[in-house]
Amino acid sequence: MAKNYIGIDLGTTETTVSVIEIEKITDNPLDKLRTLDIYQYNEQFEFDKNIKSLQSSIYIDRDNKIIYTGKYAKKLYSDGNRPLNTIRSIKTRLGGESMIEVPLDSDKNNIKNYDMTELSAVFLKTVKMSIDKQISGNLDEVTITVPAGFNSDERSSTIQAARMAGFKNVNLLDEPTAVLLNFLNDEDNDFDYSFFNKPKNIVVYDIGGGTLDISIAKVQDNDDGDFDVKIITRSKRMDFGGDNIDKYIAAYFLKEFESLEENGSLDERTPEEQAQIVSRIVSNAEKHKIAFSQNISKYLDNPRRRSRVKESVNFEIINGLKVTDLTLTDDLLKDILKDIISPNGMLLDPLKRTMQSSNLKNKDIDLIILTGGSGKFYLIEETLSKFFKDIEIIEFT
């Protein structure tokens, strides 16, 4: 009898889902692994069955009693439309008493509170309905990845949300551990695995949209053709990721916008206008950060060409008022993000503390695996490279 095992990478920025479909006992699970589509409304408000990821955004249309998840909801947020009805980064607000107020669009004074666990269940329901349309048979197990630093309340809320969405047998797996196991079992990887003939200390540096997870594991190839993996230490919970980098860049955009007297201050505007301005500035910060990173990544070892890379920034903020004639450069980004990329900044401080907790020095580390959606931003790998110097860093997603 066929058995289906589901894996959900529940991200702060986006979520993906895979399935292993076992038909007979001799099946190799890795041969039966495939990524599923997640059905959702796309940016053009068309129902799309061919999208591999679900953007971690929710739009609550209380007037029509409909909740949208994914690309359409993110597009509304990015455009600054209905800013009080769109929610992002639910994962980092799970657990405890986290609530959000959502008005009726037609009556801003008609407020309703939503619990983050309930909203996570709605989000996971989109995933569940998509799975049901693409596989046959029962869902025997679902494994959901969570930050290693999640506490018991956050883990319980994740399980509760999954069960509310319709999943029955729910398991949790720490994200850095999932990445390491995937790396070790990736048959398409050209890495020389004889490297693990002797015990090696591996740092998994997992930086997503809203969380930073660091695990250090001792790995050795065993006599059975597999790997012995022992997690030495994990970082504490840290709500830090690409969203924070975007906010630093957005703060620079806002400062430049407010420097013109005719634009006025954010504090002088209504709550809805403030939400609209923030959504547009943060979304454009993310957009231009990604574009600049992609462009400069080709020239990181060429100082002359690198210094010439520029990203022009022009966009409307509100009521025809615009951010105009701004230009991002490598030097400017380094200055904007100095609190993040400095030797004692937000990228390296938790890494140092995690290593110190197990009395590990740089010389004790043999390999770094950089993963997570934000790991592609060029200044993150560069900051790690300066810290670890000659130790190899592998970007693995």
Higher pLDDT, 307 or 11: 307
Q: Do 148 and 121 form a contact (C-beta atoms < 8 A)?
A: no
Q: Which of 309, 287, 286 is nearest to 296 (CA)?
A: 309
> Could you tell me how far CA 230 lies from the centroid of its own chain?
25
Q: Could you give the residue ranges of the DSSP H alpha helices within 173-296?
A: 175-184, 242-258, 271-296
**How many helices and strands, by DSSP H and E, does the chain display?**
11, 20
- The mean per-residue pLDDT over the stretch 166-181 comes to 92
Q: If phi over 0 gives left and psi between -120 and 50 gives alpha, with beta otherwise, what is residue 336?
A: alpha
Instruction: Report the distance separating Cα 30 and Cα 11, nearest Å.
Output: 22
| Per-residue pLDDT at 203 | 97
Chain segment 249-265, per-residue pLDDT in tens:
999 999 999 998 888 88
| Per-residue pLDDT at 348 | 97
| Per-residue pLDDT at 1 | 54
Higher pLDDT, 152 or 388: 388
Residue 97 above 70 pLDDT?
A: no
Q: Do 372 and 346 form a contact (C-beta atoms < 8 A)?
A: no
Task: Count the neighbouring beta carbons within 10 Å of the beta carbon of residue 159.
Answer: 16
Token pair listed for 93: 């607000």
Instruction: Report the distance separating Cα 69 and Cα 73, nearest Å.
Output: 6
Q: Could you give the residue ranges of the DSSP H alpha helices within the chain?
A: 71-79, 116-134, 152-164, 175-184, 242-258, 271-296, 303-308, 330-336, 338-341, 349-356, 378-388
Q: Do 19 and 33 form a contact (C-beta atoms < 8 A)?
A: yes
Amino acid at 300: L
Instruction: Report the distance separating Cα 132 and Cα 112, nearest Å.
Output: 31
| Per-residue pLDDT at 183 | 92
| Per-residue pLDDT at 100 | 85
Instruction: Report the distance separating Cα 167 and Cα 10, nearest Å.
Output: 14
| Per-residue pLDDT at 351 | 96
Higher pLDDT, 188 or 316: 316
153: Cβ contacts below 8 Å, ≥ 6 apart: 95, 96
Q: 0.95 exceeded by the pTM? A: no
Task: Count the neighbouring beta carbons within 10 Å of the beta carbon of residue 115.
Answer: 16
Q: How far is CA 167 from CA 8, 55, 139, 161, 393, in A?
A: 11, 20, 8, 9, 37
Of the spans 17-26, 148-157, 281-290, which averages the highest pLDDT?
281-290
Rg (CA), the chain: 22
Chain segment 134-156, per-residue pLDDT in tens:
998 777 789 999 988 888 888 99
Split at pLDDT 50, 70, 90, the class of 278 is very high
Q: Do 4 and 138 form a contact (C-beta atoms < 8 A)?
A: yes
Split at pLDDT 50, 70, 90, the class of 96 is low
Task: Return the minimum-mean-pLDDT range out of 11-15, 142-146, 248-252, 288-292.
Answer: 11-15
- The mean per-residue pLDDT over the stretch 295-318 comes to 95
**What is the average pLDDT value for the chain, to the nearest integer?**
91
Task: Return the minimum-mean-pLDDT range out of 20-34, 323-337, 375-389.
Answer: 20-34
